[in-house]
Amino acid sequence: MKAQFEAGGGDRVGLFALDDGHVGICWAYAPSHGMQLVSYDPYQGQSLFDTTRRQYEEREGLTFDSRAAWQNGSV
């Protein structure tokens, strides 16, 4: 896992490095709404993850952010 966050409403989003050189973004929605994992090229995936995190941060705040919570940080 490269990075993750949890939004105030309970949604969780993770950014993963995949074996084929792509990145995966996993959206795990608040309880009873399921999850999805989508593969992207590295640049597009990182950009989408950053945009998604910023939108959640502005809308409902973050209860967990790997940039601050992980030792030595994350992306």
Look up residue 20 and give its two tokens: 């084929």
Average pLDDT, the chain: 91
Per-residue confidence (pLDDT) for residue 21, from 0 to 100 = 95
Residue 69 has pLDDT above 80, yes or no: no
Whole-model pTM: value is: 0.87
Instruction: Say which residues have a Cβ less than 8 Å from residue 63's Cβ, sequence separation at least 6.
Output: 6, 7, 8
The average pLDDT across 38-49 equals 97
Q: What percent of the chain stands above pLDDT 90?
A: 77
The average pLDDT across 29-54 equals 92
